[in-house]
Amino acid sequence: MPVGAIEAAPDLRDTELRKLAGGAAFARGRDYWRMRRIHIDAQSAEALSGWAQGSRRYALWLRREAAGWRWDCACPAADDGSFCKHLVAAALTAREGLSPAQPESDRDADEPGAAVHLRQRPVVEADDCSERVKEVERLARVERARDLTTGPGQGDQPRTQMPSAASNLAAFLHAQPAQCLAGWLLELAAADDAIDKRLRLHQVAADPAQLKSAMGKLLSPGGFLDYRGGLRYALRLDGLVDALRQRLGEDPAHVRELCADALARLFKVYANSDDSAGAIGDRLADLAALLVHSCAASPPPPAWAKTLHKLQRADGWGLLPLNDFWDVLGTQGQSIYAKRVLDAFASLPPPDEHSRYEPEVFATCRMTEALARASGDFDLLQRVLRRDLRYPVQYLAVLASLRAADRAREAQAWCEAAVRKFPRDADLREALAECLQDAGLEDEALLQSWQAFELHPAATRWDALKRRAAEAWPEWRARALAHVAALSHHSATQHIGLLLHDGDLAAAQALAADSAVMSVRLVELARALQSAQPEAAGALYLRAVEADLPQAGATHYAGLVSLLQRASRLLPEARWQPALARIKLEYARRPKLMALLREAGL
């Protein structure tokens, strides 16, 4: 798979993400982000690695290098190096700087200054993150080589391009006589216990009893799985997935039971392993997909609903969504399943600050909400969504359900009550503006939009205010900028961000000349000016470097040197050489920085 790259190394705000991914992929990626379908395992100022939960789990990574951003995702859409929806969602998740397990923190992704390299969540050190990215790259190569020889997994899209080295090896192996290949495999099995177990799985694949016994031996992790152990264990699971795929057409009912048994065991293994590369998670997703296919091919008896319920209680990663199984459960199975879920929901203690994040409480509420949506029970959905209403995001969830049910009047009344309870929440005020707009109350909607902007003057609030102000926008624009200027105190960073968002480069440049500005905004302005005013852009790059160097760590040197290179290309030598000389003199005792400057020819 070609690895994607972009030379300019943007901060990956929404405008940049739209350019990279296109409007459709950006919109789908934003949906993935809002649904918390991204898990970031490692993140530093320069890189991240993690996985996305789509139709299966896809390992992905992003890395800032001297030449710009590079990326890769294991999904079919990114085979040609495209910036897919999973990468969009990963960028938004990293930019947010909060764990995906905290849905109440659904902040506005367009906040001026928000960028991928925010440091609110320093998951790992930069060097460790870089190592993990390399491991994800290596694992992806192994997976693609496997796909080349065995074909894509059921439900996957075929890979369109393969590494030439893997292609050459596959062609060589296909040309060898069976006796020669058998000898090589026996040698490998004798030297590697994991290969031996995998081959024995293929040997007994046609015998249900032996297959289950061999599966039990294969699934034993032998203790805690560290990062590299998790990668090896994941590759061992490939044999199990392949064996079950082979059995699917012959005996789907047996595959269903084996998948359920394997998932029950693996959920425990997964909770006691370091799966930072997402490799075990990928195999779990493969097994979950096989379970869905086997249920569709051979609908389970009603009592199997208890097995599904038990599996979902152990599934803390959303691999077994109820919608995938609801129809095949049948009326009786649905009734059995619903009773178990509703009994658990009825037994929950009253909500409080501590119980909210208890795994049992969270799982029960999640499953009850899924039941309500799958069965179309609007009243049950309201009961579970309104069970705990101590935070604005919970009111927004109820509001979304009311609007989805076309209950516009009820939605407006609900939102008005929420704003009275949380008058300083910008998201609620903007939601109320939408309700008022739908009701034809345009002046009231504009007022709420303004109050939302006052509370949180982000780019999305700016756009909403502009849309509702219509012809009166010039007056409202001046008012909005004056408000941001008053909030800025000693920095014009946010003010300039809105000017750039609005395309007013001249005003942004003039303001930056006389104001304190964060370096990230200086770089953004420089990029916007680079083609039309190269010298002005070069001066801004220099200013950003000189602002960041005093507190920069070693992991940031490459990015700063890259900015110096750009400045040297845009400015006359007489303007950038003195600055470079000052840097070399002042930071001579930083050997890594000096080495990078030499490598860059500076």
pLDDT at 29: 84
Is residue 539's pLDDT more than 80?
Answer: yes
Predicted TM-score (pTM) of the model is 0.66
* Range in 345-359, 438-452, 469-483 with the lowest mean pLDDT: 345-359
In whole angstroms, how far apart are CA 283 and each of 59, 150, 437?
11, 16, 47
Q: How confident is the model at residue 150 (pLDDT cuts 50, 70, 90)?
A: very low
Tell me how crowded residue 123 is: count the other CB atoms within 10 A of its CB.
Answer: 18
- Distance (Å, rounded) from C-alpha 547 to C-alpha 543? 6
Which residues on adjacent β-strands are paired with residue 66?
none
Find the mean pLDDT for residues 557-562: 86
Find the mean pLDDT for residues 496-517: 90
pLDDT at 208: 60
For the chain, give the percent of residues with pLDDT over 90: 36
On whether the CB atoms of residues 50 and 41 are closer than 8 A, the answer is yes
Find the mean pLDDT for residues 244-251: 86
pLDDT at 370: 95
Which one is predicted more confidently, 18 or 452?
452
Is residue 263's pLDDT more than 60?
Answer: yes
pLDDT at 105: 33
In whole angstroms, how far apart are CA 481 and each of 6, 235, 502, 509?
33, 56, 11, 15
pLDDT at 96: 65
**316: its two tokens:** 């803390």
Q: Model confidence over 7-19: pLDDT tens digits?
A: 433 456 777 788 8
What mean pLDDT value characterizes the chain? 81
On whether the CB atoms of residues 83 and 4 are closer than 8 A, the answer is yes
Is residue 475's pLDDT more than 60?
Answer: yes
Is residue 202's pLDDT more than 90?
Answer: no
pLDDT at 128: 52
pLDDT at 101: 34
Find the mean pLDDT for residues 225-234: 84
Which one is predicted more confidently, 9 or 463?
463
Q: How confident is the model at residue 354 (pLDDT cuts 50, 70, 90)?
A: low
pLDDT at 309: 96
Find the mean pLDDT for residues 291-303: 94
Containing 590, the helix (H) or strand (E) segment is none
pLDDT at 125: 44
Q: How confident is the model at residue 515 (pLDDT cuts 50, 70, 90)?
A: confident
pLDDT at 353: 65
pLDDT at 244: 87
pLDDT at 140: 52
Please give the single-letter amino acid code of residue 529: L
pLDDT at 217: 77
Length of the chain in terms of residues written:
602
What is the strand order of the sheet 68-73 is part of?
Answer: 4-6, 68-73, 57-65, 47-53, 38-43
Find the mean pLDDT for residues 567-593: 89
In this structure, are strands 38-43 and 4-6 parallel, antiparallel, or unpaired? unpaired
Q: How confident is the model at residue 30 (pLDDT cuts 50, 70, 90)?
A: confident
In whole angstroms, how far apart are CA 237 and each of 231, 270, 278, 397?
10, 12, 13, 38
Number of H helices, E strands in the chain: 28, 5
Is residue 201's pLDDT more than 70?
Answer: no
Q: How confident is the model at residue 332 (pLDDT cuts 50, 70, 90)?
A: very high
Is residue 584's pLDDT more than 50?
Answer: yes
